[in-house]
A and B are shown apart, each in its own frame.
Chain A
Amino acid sequence: MDLVSLQNWLDNCAFAVLLVTMLAYWIGVSFPTLTWPGGVGTTGMAIANLAMATLLGARWIEAGYFPLSNLYESLFFLAWGVTAVHLLAERMTGSRWVGPFTATTALAIAAFATLSLPDTMQASAPLVPALKSNWLMMHVSVMMLSYSALLVGSLLAIAFLVVTRGQAVELRGSSVGTGSFRDRADRLRLAQQVNGATAIAPSTETGGVAVLEAPQTAAVALSPQRLTLADTLDNISYRIIGLGFPLLTIGIIAGGVWANEAWGSYWSWDPKETWALITWLVFAAYLHARITRGWQGRRPALLAAAGFVVVWVCYLGVNILGKGLHSYGWFF
């Protein structure tokens, strides 16, 4: 089998596997008693991930340069990144709520690349002079990995919003302020135990002196207060975005340094780089909203969910405008 037909087979395979995976995940959250969809979903994601990695590897061998030079390749790289970060996030949360959103996104990306792009845009083409640089690999791959992580982090925030819909949210998982401390209900439970202990204390001890020592009695059964599903989704969303943010920073800086080495300006307010900055600012606002007292819970999650749209505008929307330095590999 030659490389080109292998590639065709692999991209169809990735698409089909992701379709089954997505269905499995949605069945899993719709019928919580079933256990098989989780296993099918995780296996499917892993297979799709390997298929897309092989696809990109085959193109690397075929073209002789890192496969990130046109839209088709970058879409598959993004879908690969989303599945990879999904596997990480699912491992970290152990929750079946990660898959439905990430699998749908990965499928949509793969479907767009396989079905809507004309064949001429799927073929690999020689690099234009501006892209012939080692910085291409450094800048573009880091940017794509950051998009993957930020997308999955945003999807987890959306999952968090779905899981907690219609409920009052009291989170412990925020980074400063109320984080790491027992919530009100649990503190009340402990206090009642202490009061119970003091009620018994006078009868066993002699007199009221024991009341003063009551808070220190050993009668309190102290055990860890575990994180809830909402806590877990919220925190893993934060950690995954926390992973994507440094990658985005490094990717933007690599782009800036490349631009300065190639044409003498590390920042020129080109639409794509402006949108990368906008993405950076939105997620920076998210990271700060989390440590703002009284804002934990839905507000940062809404910001992260908005970040999902911003990443897409940055990745695809700017190319639709077809202007500026980054207008490679688009059909308009």
Chain B
Amino acid sequence: MNVNDSSPSPLIAAGQAIARFWKQDLLPLLADLRLAIALLLAIALFSISGTVIEQGQSLAFYQENYPESPALFGFLTWKVVLALGLNTVYRTWWFLALLILFGASLTACTFTRQLPALKAAQGWKYYRQPRQFEKLALSARLGQLPDAPIAPFDQAEGLLKAKGYRTYRDGDAFYARKGIVGRIGPIIVHAAMLIVLVGAIVGATTGFLAQEMVPSGQTFQVQNILDAGPWSAPQIPTDWAVKVNRFWIDYTADGNIDQFYSDLSVVDPDGTERDRQTIHVNKPLRYRGITMYQTDWGISAVRLHLNNSPILELPMAQLPVAGGRIWGTWVPTQTDLSDGVSLVTRDLQGTLLIYDKTGKPVATTRVGRSVQVNGITLAIDELVGSTGLQIKADPGIPLVYGGFGLLMLGVVLSYFSHSQIWLLNTPEGLYVGGRTNRAQVAFERELLDTLTALETPQAAQG
């Protein structure tokens, strides 16, 4: 029976159909330059939308700014914004899909265009027919040079080697080329971009981001995690903590902030110090794949004493005022807490304003001074700052940095123009022709100079 022979054929046929579809339809489409250009411009366009529409705001914000009537441009209501994900463009599935399609296009282009073009460039041929020269725009036939003092090929070799060409000769034919790295550059660029994309995916899935606000003198473990990839758990440190020995701000002579500093110690659970570093903006702490950046600051408490009391530490809170940040606390001046003053400051420079119960300013004071309020002596000993740290682990960084390095190398190499020059010695004269893929103007000058130089011995004879 033929049944056994024919039964696997639908599967094979389907496989062949898929293979044919892949090779004849999908691959050429992916490698099509017009698709690549469309993708580049589409990514640009959607990126623009993310800079025009505010990203990551609250629902109320979009309801207020993109009302249903009148709708912006007639269609852009908050419902449309949220439904399309225009409030978080760079994280929507369709934007990520666009990036993946872009990666696929890059890969397809590398294999169907760039590698064959490089292979063709490496597999050069001598031109042995005059008609091969006639196609080239930059070609000429020089009259015979019978009594030239140097053979024309020797002269051409000297001229072109001085211009950085590599020369080859075989009988009556001569070939010279330079700048083949210009054909390798774009391949490196494409590969580098794929490496960066992979690195970004690795980072997004295995990294985490956390923020902590820690007062001077306290020890903390990483807990306030804002963003974590699905496989990030092994990155989050559990067997060590960080102690903030001190946080301070240096000010310039005119009162502006010069730099923020945090003196940090990495400690064991039992308190033993393992490492100690002072960080500032642009100089983070690195320990076991975790990096801690100086990003924010605040004032956590004020230490003071009243008359002859021991030193009291009162927490300070940030006050909700527009324009600038202000911290404040309340200091009781009666034992039954029936009266007191408010202490307010805007930075760690040490100046504090004192307001009474009714909100009227009554005095200013500085750290280290004392002042009389409500009949008692209020002495400020210290303002305790707290440091705002951004804590991060990103295992994708080596890949991303590697991709960055290759990308820079690749774009620089891509500037080089691949130039080729052919010569053919015939009884009718010397044929010279050449072409290049990028620097047409510079190459024209180079070739015309070469032609003039090759003609010179003849002119000298005449």
List A residues at the B interface (Cβ < 8 Å): 92-93, 126, 128-130, 132-133, 135, 172-173, 175-176, 179-183, 186-187, 190, 215-218, 220-227, 231-232, 235-236, 238-239, 242-243, 245-246, 249-250, 253, 256-257, 260-267, 269, 271, 274-275, 277-278, 281-282, 284-285, 288-289, 291-292, 318, 321
| CB neighbours of B209 from chain A (8 A) | 264-265
Task: Judge if B302 is at the interface, Cβ distance under 8 Å.
Answer: no
Contact A175 to B137, CB < 8 A, known contacts A246-B411, A250-B408, A263-B295: no
| Given A132-B259, A175-B438, A264-B284: 10 more A-B contacts, CB < 8 Å | A128-B257, A129-B281, A180-B435, A218-B141, A223-B140, A236-B441, A239-B442, A253-B404, A278-B47, A278-B48
Task: Judge if B264 is at the interface, Cβ distance under 8 Å.
Answer: no
Q: Which residue of A lies closest to B280 (CB)?
A: A129
Per-position binary interface string of chain B over residues 377-418, scored 1 when its CB falls under 8 Å from any chain A CB and 0 otherwise: 000000000000011101001001100100110011011000
Q: Which residue of A lies closest to B431 (CB)?
A: A222
Query: Can you list 13 A-B contacts (CB < 8 A)?
Result: A172-B440, A181-B137, A190-B134, A218-B141, A218-B429, A224-B448, A249-B408, A249-B411, A250-B411, A264-B390, A266-B397, A282-B40, A282-B44
| CB neighbours of A264 from chain B (8 A) | 209, 284, 291, 293, 390-392, 394
B282 & A269 in contact (Cβ 8 Å cutoff):
no
Q: Which residue of A lies closest to B401 (CB)?
A: A257
B444 & A227 in contact (Cβ 8 Å cutoff):
yes
How far, in angstroms, from A265 to B141 measured CA to CA in the complex? 60
CB distance from B407 to the nearest CB of A (A): 6
Task: Judge if B360 is at the interface, Cβ distance under 8 Å.
Answer: no
A260 & B397 in contact (Cβ 8 Å cutoff):
yes
B50 & A269 in contact (Cβ 8 Å cutoff):
yes
- Which stretch (B66-74, B78-86, B125-133, B147-155) binds chain A? B125-133
| CB neighbours of B33 from chain A (8 A) | 288-289, 291-292
CB distance from A125 to the nearest CB of B (A): 9
Per-position binary interface string of chain B over residues 409-452, scored 1 when its CB falls under 8 Å from any chain A CB and 0 otherwise: 00110110000000000111101000111111110100110010
Number of interface residues of B (CB under 8 A): 73
Per-position binary interface string of chain B over residues 237-268, scored 1 when its CB falls under 8 Å from any chain A CB and 0 otherwise: 00000000000000010001111100000000
Q: Which residue of B lies closest to A127 (CB)?
A: B258
One of B40, B133, B260, B442 near A288 (C-beta < 8 A)? B40
| CB neighbours of B369 from chain A (8 A) | none
CB distance from B424 to the nearest CB of A (A): 11
A289 & B282 in contact (Cβ 8 Å cutoff):
no
| CB neighbours of A93 from chain B (8 A) | 441
Q: Which residue of A lies closest to B131 (CB)?
A: A215
Q: Which residue of B lies closest to A264 (CB)?
A: B392
